[in-house]
C-alpha cells in the first residue's frame, strides 16, 4: 500500500463550495454551435454511419482548442464540466446525436457500454424491474446511488428531462478519501484490498460470476476510484466469492454516507442540450428517482458516451476495454 496523506489535487472539492461557483458551466456560443453544425455537415457527406467517422471527418478548427482545455480541466482540474446550449429542440435528436458523437471524437475513443456493443447508449426508462438481477438501473426510473462507470470520461447529453426528479448528483472521490483518512484512518487500508464484484451475468461460460479488484488505486499521487457498491454486495450470493470483511463493509457504508452528505455532493438539474462530462476515476455520480411524462415524445432521454483518453492520469487499463460480449 502506498504512503497515504490528504490529497490536494484540483479534483478534491466539496459540493457546498462548488454550488457557489459557476466556472464549471460552459455555455456554447452561437458561433460554436454553428461550427458544430458545419462539422456535422462535413461528416455526413463522408458517411451516414457516424460510428465510421474519424476525428478528421468532424473538423473543429476553432473549437478544437477549447476541447483541449476541457480535457485538461477534466484530467488535472475539478474532474467535471457541464456544457450548455446545444439547441437539441431546434435541430432534432438525430443531428444532436451526430454532434455529440463528433465532439466525442475530439475527446477520446468510444468503447462499448454493454454486452450488445452499444457505443452511444440510451439512458431512459424501458419498464425494466429495478429489483431484478442483472437489470442496469439506467434503464429504469429508480434511484441509482453513487457509483462509477467504465472508461476515462463519462458523458451524458440531455435530449429530454424528466417531469420531476432525475437530478444528476456528483461527488469528489478524492474529498471522500480525505474524509475517510481523517475520520476513520484504520479503514483506509481496506480501500486497497481486493473486493469481489458481481458480473451481473456478463461473464464468459466456465468463468466465475464475480471478479476481484481494489476500490482504490493511487497512481502518481492521483486517486483512481472504482465503486459499484451493489455489484460488490451482490457478489456475496456466489459461494466461491470471497466474503467481505468487517472493514470492507464499513468502507462501503462510509463512502455511501459521505457521498450522500450535502456538504460533499453537487446537483445538476439537466436541461435539454446539456452535456455533462466526468472523469470517471475522480468523480462519483448518482441519479435520483424520477417521474416521467406520459407523452412518449417527452419522456426523459439522455445519450451516454464512455470515452477512453489514453493521456489521462490515473487511468485504468482494465476499464479501457469497455464491456465485452460473452464468448
Question: Considering the chain, what percentage of its residues have pLDDT values greater than 90?
Answer: 85
Q: What is the mean pLDDT of residues 8-28?
A: 97
Question: Whose CA is closest to 151, among 25, 51, 277?
Answer: 277
Res. 327: pLDDT tops 60 = no
SS (H, E, C) 199-233: CCCCCCCCCCCEEEEECEEEECCEEEECCCHHHHH
Residue 121 pairs with which residues in a beta bridge?
A: 304
**Which domains, ranges and CATH numbers included, belong to the chain?**
15-310 (3.60.130.10)
Residue 270 burial by Cβ neighbours in a 10 Å radius (0-12, 13-18, 19+): buried
Question: Whose CA is closest to 104, among 56, 55, 149?
Answer: 55
pTM of the model: 0.95
CB 62 within 8 A of CB 30: no
153 pLDDT tier (thresholds 50, 70, 90): very high
Predicted pLDDT of residue 206: 84
Res. 33: pLDDT tops 70 = yes
Q: What is the mean pLDDT of residues 50-56?
A: 97
Average pLDDT, the chain: 94
- DSSP element (H, E) containing 144: strand 144-147
Predicted pLDDT of residue 132: 84
DSSP-assigned states of every residue in 255-308 = HHHHHTSTTT-EEE---TT-EEEEETTTEEEEE--EEPPSSGGGS-EEEEEEEE
**Model confidence pLDDT, tens digit, residues 3-16:** 689 999 999 999 99
Q: What is the mean pLDDT of residues 102-109?
A: 98
Question: Considering the chain, what percentage of its residues have pLDDT values greater than 70?
Answer: 98
Predicted pLDDT of residue 48: 96
Q: What is the mean pLDDT of residues 278-301?
A: 96
CB 242 within 8 A of CB 274: no
Amino acid at each position: 500500500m502506498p504512503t497515504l496523506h490528504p490529497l490536494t489535487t484540483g479534483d478534491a472539492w466539496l459540493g457546498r463550495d462548488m454550488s457557489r461557483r459557476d466556472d464549471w458551466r460552459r455555455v456554447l456560443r452561437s458561433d460554436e454551435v454553428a461550427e458544430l453544425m458545419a462539422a456535422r455537415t462535413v461528416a455526413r457527406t463522408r458517411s451516414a454511419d457516424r460510428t465510421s467517422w474519424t476525428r478528421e471527418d468532424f473538423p473543429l478548427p476553432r473549437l478544437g482548442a477549447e476541447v483541449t482545455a476541457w480535457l485538461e480541466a477534466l484530467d488535472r482540474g475539478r474532474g467535471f464540466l457541464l456544457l450548455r446550449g446545444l439547441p437539441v429542440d431546434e435541430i432534432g435528436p438525430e443531428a444532436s446525436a451526430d454532434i455529440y458523437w463528433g465532439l466525442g471524437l475530439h475527446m477520446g475513443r468510444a468503447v462499448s457500454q454493454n454486452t450488445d456493443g452499444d457505443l452511444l447508449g440510451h439512458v431512459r426508462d424501458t419498464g425494466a424491474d429495478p429489483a431484478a438481477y442483472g437489470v442496469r438501473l439506467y434503464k429504469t426510473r429508480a434511484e441509482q446511488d453513487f457509483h462509477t462507470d467504465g472508461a476515462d470520461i463519462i458523458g451524458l447529453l440531455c435530449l429530454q428531462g424528466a417531469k420531476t426528479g432525475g437530478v444528476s448528483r456528483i461527488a469528489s472521490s478524492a474529498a471522500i478519501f480525505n474524509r475517510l483518512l481523517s475520520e476513520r484512518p484504520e479503514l483506509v487500508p481496506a480501500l486497497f484490498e481486493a473486493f469481489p464484484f458481481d458480473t451481473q451475468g456478463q461473464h464468459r461460460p466456465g468463468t466465475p460470476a464475480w471478479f476481484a479488484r481494489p476500490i482504490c488505486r493511487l497512481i502518481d499521487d492521483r486517486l483512481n476510484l472504482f465503486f459499484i457498491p451493489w455489484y460488490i454486495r451482490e457478489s456475496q450470493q456466489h459461494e466461491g466469492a470471497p466474503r467481505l470483511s468487517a472493514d470492507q463493509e464499513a468502507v462501503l457504508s462510509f463512502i455511501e454516507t459521505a457521498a450522500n452528505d450535502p456538504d460533499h455532493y453537487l446537483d445538476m438539474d439537466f436541461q435539454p442540450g446539456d452535456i455533462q462530462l466526468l472523469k470517471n476515476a475522480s468523480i462519483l455520480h448518482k441519479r435520483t428517482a424520477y417521474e416521467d411524462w406520459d407523452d412518449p415524445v417527452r419522456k426523459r432521454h439522455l445519450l451516454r458516451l464512455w470515452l477512453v483518453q489514453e493521456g489521462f492520469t490515473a487511468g485504468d487499463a482494465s476499464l479501457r476495454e469497455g464491456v465485452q460480449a460473452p464468448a
